[in-house]
Amino acid sequence: MCFDEDALNDRHVVISGGCGAIGVGVVKKLTDHGANVTVNDILESAVAESRLRDAGANMENLFYVKADLTQASQVGTLVKAAQSKFGPIHTALCHIGMVIPKPLLEFETDEWDKTMAVNVKTAFLLGQATAKAMLEDGIAGHLIFTTSWVADVPWPEIGPYNASKAAMKQLMRSFARELADKGIRANAIAPGIVSVGLAKHQWDTDPSYRSRAQKAIPLGYMQPLESVANAFLFLCSPAADYMTGSVLLVDGGCSLYPMD
Ligand SMILES: NC(=O)c1ccc[n+]([C@@H]2O[C@H](COP(=O)([O-])OP(=O)(O)OC[C@H]3O[C@@H](n4cnc5c(N)ncnc54)[C@H](O)[C@@H]3O)[C@@H](O)[C@H]2O)c1
């Protein structure tokens, strides 16, 4: 991608869920372009650091903080630790997500609660805590939420996940609306069906998933991780400075029409 290697120099980015299948690719892209990145996850430090190193992230520009972001007190600890390591936070990526695949009529209440806590509550808590820190530090900062094309087009048998991503989209727009006059922006990135983790495993091993997914992707192939990382690079860069309240849809056309 055509961004200078120093495009994010002097920027401090915090990412939650940064050791997941997509997160490590995003962290690599951001550190490759000069950002200092505080990476959060719930993994033990040794596991987290080895995942980030294996992904090729620049470990000198990176600081790992283990914290469970469903807990407000741990979000506060993360923000303080990030500020003491790399100074004021410029960009917060509310990126944690989980999905439980099963028909809506079989969902248990605690599965609904967990999906909402991990996807929506963590995004709210991190967005709120980092926005407060940005205001205190006098930073015109940026909140970026990872949603999905399924926020608008319900993919079958992940109903609570679809609903959680729609909630995150409106949460993002609410942050954007309320904080614009304070100089803080909020946007979302909505990927498609990314060729990593569970989706990649299902694509490789489950013919019925593969045929359904293939029908859903007009471009015809799974989304390369690089394309998601590039979208983050763009949104984190000054090239996106006039954007707020937007969803950057990078989904190979998945949301163009219903799949079935
Ligand atoms: N994989 C896809 O095809 C796809 C498509 C569209 C959107 N997304 C979104 O992209 C994001 C990343 O997806 P992924 O596929 O990399 O998922 P992943 O499961 O590989 O990564 C999620 C990470 O979040 C961490 N995490 C979970 N609960 C946490 C908590 N309470 N506190 C801190 N960290 C926690 C996990 O340990 C994990 O490392 C999610 O928001 C997901 O919804 C993924």
State pLDDT tens for residues 78-103. Answer: 999 999 999 999 999 999 999 999 99
Task: Look up residue 169 and give its two tokens.
Answer: 């989209």
Contact 147, 169 (CB under 8 A): yes
Q: Give the predicted TM-score (pTM) of the model.
A: 0.98
AA letter at 151: A
Looking at the chain, the whole-number percentage of residues with pLDDT higher than 70 is 98
B/e letters for 153-162, b = 16+ CB within 10 Å, e = fewer, are: bbbeebbbbb
Q: Where are the alpha helices (DSSP H) in the chain?
A: 23-32, 45-54, 72-86, 109-116, 122-137, 159-179, 197-205, 207-216, 225-236
Percentages (nearest 5) of helix, strand, coil residues in the chain: 50, 15, 35
- Going by the DSSP 8-state scheme, the letter that residue 109 receives in this structure is H
**pLDDT of 260 above 60:** no
Which one of 14, 38, 41, 189 would you pick to mutate in the ligand 1 pocket, going by the greatest count of ligand atoms within 8 A of its CB?
Answer: 41
Residue 257 scores a pLDDT above 90: no
The one-letter code for the residue type at 118 is V
Pocket of ligand 1 (CB under 6 A): 16-17, 19-23, 40-43, 68-70, 95-98, 118, 122, 146, 148, 191, 193-194, 196-197, 199
Which CATH class, in words, describes the domain spanning 12-195+226-248? alpha beta
If you measure from the C-alpha of residue 138 to the centroid of ligand 1, how many angstroms do you get, rounded to a whole number?
A: 30
Q: Apex CA 134: angle with CA 18 and CA 94, to 5°? A: 25
Burial of 51: CB neighbours in 10 Å, binned 0-12, 13-18, 19+: buried
State the closest ligand 1 atom to the C-alpha of 19, by its place in the atom list counted from 1.
Answer: 39
What mean pLDDT is predicted for residues 114-126?
99
Q: Compute the distance between CA of residue 16 and CA of residue 208 in angstroms, rounded to an integer.
A: 32
- Beta-carbon count within 10 A of 231 CB: 22
Q: What is the pLDDT of residues 140-184, one digit of tens each?
A: 999 999 999 999 999 989 999 999 999 999 999 999 999 999 999
Cβ-in-10-Å burial (0-12, 13-18, 19+) of 109 comes to exposed
Nearest CA to ligand 1 atom 32: 68
**d(C-alpha 194, C-alpha 112), whole Å:** 24
Work out the end-to-end distance of the chain between its first and last CA atoms, rounded to an integer number of angstroms: 34
